[in-house]
């Protein structure tokens, strides 16, 4: 079953781990306005932790565990999203296909594609498909937010 959730109250099961990572990145994270994120990854534990980290820094986060669920949401709600972060390797619809379909809908949000298995020419494929940023896992939240802020400034 596809899952979508706005992070409004974090799950307390791993709050200590999240708080430790958040504290270590808070001093280096850029002071940005609150952003609205869509995160897409079939690795539940990874994406939930990433969502909590963003939420603890004041961002609004919607989590999806499949490309098709995210695409359905974005087809109706793309105007309220600032940043889409999608994994590349997912069943049914990979991040490259999701990026292409989102761009064909005219979605203007910044798109970041994450991968742990990048090949030499993958970054060029992602950028050609409409991605703005390519991220290699593991992702450091402060570095990610710095890249987002940089790309958003370039877009203005």
pLDDT tens figures, 40-51: 999 999 999 999
State the pLDDT confidence band at 21, using cuts at 50, 70 and 90: very low
pLDDT at 156: 55
Determine how β-strand 133-136 pairs with β-strand 110-115. Answer: parallel
4, pLDDT greater than 60: no
pLDDT above 80 for 16? no
List strands edge to edge, sheet with 4-6.
4-6, 60-64, 36-40, 83-87, 110-115, 133-136
For the chain, give the mean pLDDT: 80
């Amino acid at each position: 079953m596809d899952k979508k959730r706005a992070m409004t109250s974090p799950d307390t099961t791993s709050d200590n781990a999240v708080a430790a990572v958040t504290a270590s990145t808070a001093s280096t994270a850029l002071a940005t306005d609150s952003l609205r994120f869509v995160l897409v990854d079939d690795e539940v534990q990874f994406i939930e932790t990433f969502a909590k980290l963003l939420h603890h820094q004041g961002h609004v986060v919607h989590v999806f565990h499949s490309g098709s669920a995210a695409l359905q949401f974005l087809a109706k709600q793309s105007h309220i999203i600032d940043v889409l972060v999608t994994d590349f390797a997912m069943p049914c619809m990979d991040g490259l296909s999701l990026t292409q379909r989102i761009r064909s809908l005219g979605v203007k949000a910044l798109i970041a594609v994450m991968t742990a298995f990048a090949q030499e020419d993958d970054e060029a494929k992602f950028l050609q498909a409409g991605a703005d940023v390519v991220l290699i896992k593991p992702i450091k939240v402060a570095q990610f937010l710095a890249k987002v802020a940089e790309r958003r400034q370039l877009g203005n």
